Amino acid sequence: MKNLWSYKKMVVWILCIVTASALGGAGWMTWYIRSSQKSIEDMAFVSGEEMNRVREGAVVRAVLRDTKMNRAKLAAITKEREPIEDIRSIESAAEQVGTALVIEAVSPSGGTAEDASLESYLITMTVEGTFSSIHHFISMLETLPLPSSVEQIKIEAIEQGWRGSIIVKIYIEAA
């Protein structure tokens, strides 16, 4: 009977050890699966960030490629005539009449059909103020000592007065 009792004790101890090992293995397996899922989520997040960087780089390269010709034309124009001086003249006229001026863009424009030797660039701007101050500013633009023409004018009422969108073409003699 004593052997049987020690045999039962030994079986109980073995079962306890096996149960503890099984529970430990199950705990380790749960930890391993969760850490693997976390690693996969981290890799997916990093992959998403890398994809965004790749897309942004592709967009920048596409914009550079699409604007290469216009940038080259603008660089050639600026060698012949400095647009900053023309912009300063326009800003000075806006200050004199008391309008708020924002230069939105300076872009190259091709020659006209009548005179293919003329090159030009466009200055797109927005002015805000009273109707009479915007009208005065436009009349000053037309009389500035620049080889230019006012190409487009759009005036609209806003809450604080009036806003004018204006495009001026500055002519440059091409070399």
Q: How much is the pLDDT for 80?
A: 61
**Residue 93 to residue 164: CA distance in whole angstroms:** 15
- 110-166 pLDDT, tens per residue? 654 454 445 788 899 999 999 999 999 999 988 888 888 899 999 999 998 999 999
Q: How much is the pLDDT for 99?
A: 92
Q: How much is the pLDDT for 121?
A: 83
The number of CA neighbours under 13 Å toward the Cβ of 41 is 6
Query: Strands, E, within the chain: which ranges?
Result: 100-109, 118-129, 148-158, 161-173
Q: How much is the pLDDT for 116?
A: 46
Strands, sheet with 100-109, edge to edge from the N-terminal-most edge strand: 100-109, 118-129, 161-173, 148-158
- 17-46 pLDDT, tens per residue? 888 888 888 888 888 777 777 777 666 666
Q: How much is the pLDDT for 44?
A: 64
Q: How much is the pLDDT for 76?
A: 67
Written as six digits, the tokens of 56 are 């942004």
Query: Which amino acid is located at 137 in the chain?
Result: F
Q: Structure pTM?
A: 0.52
Q: How much is the pLDDT for 54?
A: 72
**Residue 162 to residue 160: CA distance in whole angstroms:** 7
3-state helix, strand, coil in the chain (%, to 5): 60, 25, 15
- 44-99 pLDDT, tens per residue? 666 667 777 777 777 777 877 877 777 777 666 566 667 788 888 899 999 999 99
**Residue 74 to residue 105: CA distance in whole angstroms:** 12
**Residue 38 to residue 17: CA distance in whole angstroms:** 31
Q: Are the C-beta atoms of 136 and 143 separated by less than 8 Å?
A: no
Closest CA to 51 of 63, 61, 43: 43
